[in-house]
Structure 1
Amino acid sequence: MTRQTATKPEAATSQARGARKSRRIDTGRAAIAGAGGRLGRLASAGARQVAENPITAALGAATIGAGIALLLPVTRREAEVLGPLADTLEDVARGATESAIDIGRQEVKELAQTAIAGVGGAMVESMLAGDTATGGKS
């Protein structure tokens, strides 16, 4: 007599795999359903915000569109048409940036000088206060 014990464990293993697969599928379906519900609530909230603030929504959409446009390569036609304008805008922007940097440097210098003068003055006052407390003897 030959025993076929190998088939029973294989069948049990196959059933266990099927049960695990079924649980994973159920978990996946539940996650998808939950995500769909959250997405629906998010869409409703977004629609409500757009209805309450249409100008802000339009500005946001324009900003996103401009950002995407900046990421796209410039076409030959755009370079032909907007080339001189782009060069002019670049020059103006570069000049404004340099001016802002110069103004910022000047402000930092003035703040540093004020701070140094304040610290120096405080040190002198502290020293004078110490001299008067000790009767002029150090």
Structure 2
Amino acid sequence: MWQIVEVRRAPEGEAAHLAATRATPSDLARMRQALAAIDAAVAVGGDGAEEDLAFHRSIAESTGNTMMVSTVRYLGEVLRSGMRVTRANEARRGDFVEAVRQEHHAVLAAVEAGAAEEARAAA
């Protein structure tokens, strides 16, 4: 499972980098909406896994690169069940939940600012 997580980081970082230079206002709105959905799911005790995947897909979609979208979607599907277990375990520790929340918000903030390197690092 950890190997898949490591592989997932590479395209998500590059997608965030590209999104910072290519995202349109409507792309940014979709990313904001997806991030708000994660926060809302977690606030009511959900794991936010589906919403997390949607957030990363929205970033990939804003790159305009269909291969990037396909790669992020594929890796998300492979990780779906593992994410649920991880999120359930993280939910028991508020510090993990907050760290993940801050990471996602940092990615979006960097993309919105057009800070490509920061977006890559945050992802």
Q: What TM-score range do you get, normalising by the shorter chain?
A: under 0.3
Bigger RCO of structures 1 and 2 (CA < 8 A, at least 6 apart)? 2
Please say which structure displays the higher CA radius of gyration: 1
After TM superposition, the score normalised by the length of structure 2 is 0.24
